[in-house]
Amino acid sequence: MRRIAVIGKGGGGRSTLCRALRARLGLPVRDVDEVQWLPGWQRAPLDETPRTLDTWAAADSWIIDGFGPWPVIDRRMERADTIVYVDFPLRTHLWSKLVHLRSPGAIARWLAEVPATTDRVVRDIR
């Protein structure tokens, strides 16, 4: 395992899993949220995020945490030698997010994205 894509709904422990994999395998961890979101959960410019994610995916070894914009996911999944889909019951994800996101606006934005992202992934896997 040299290129690991960790995807799934927020609040499921993706970041915790990535840190554990980094400790065990010594691979660098990249968090999609760092380039996809600006402070205050504002979306970053859409043209910058795909370039950064493609640069990360071109490296020889990595753990990338998160989805990112839909058009670049395919390229990253093709490069990955391991894909981990973190999928717990929605109530588990919600509880974890409610604990970590104390801003009602941030919670509402997160809830709005969950169904669309999950539906696209499940549809493409089938």
- pLDDT at 69 > cutoff 60: yes
pTM across the whole model: 0.72
- Digit-coded pLDDT (tens) for 74-120: 899 999 999 999 987 777 666 666 666 666 666 666 566 655 555 55
User: What does the CA dihedral 76, 85, 10, 59 come to, rounded to 10 degrees?
Assistant: -30
Q: What integer pLDDT is reported at residue 94 of this predicted model?
A: 65
Q: Which domains, and CATH codes, for the chain?
A: 3-125 (3.40.50.300)
What's the chain's average pLDDT? 81
CB-CB neighbours of 44 under 10 Å:
15
For residue 119, give every residue at least 6 positions away whose Cβ sits within 8 Å of its Cβ, in sequence order, or none.
none
- Of 18 and 9, which is predicted with more confidence? 18
Q: What integer pLDDT is reported at residue 6 of this predicted model?
A: 97
> Residue ranges of the alpha helices (H) in 43-125?
48-58, 70-79, 90-100, 104-125
- Nearest Cα neighbor of 26 from 60, 55, 52, 56 is 60
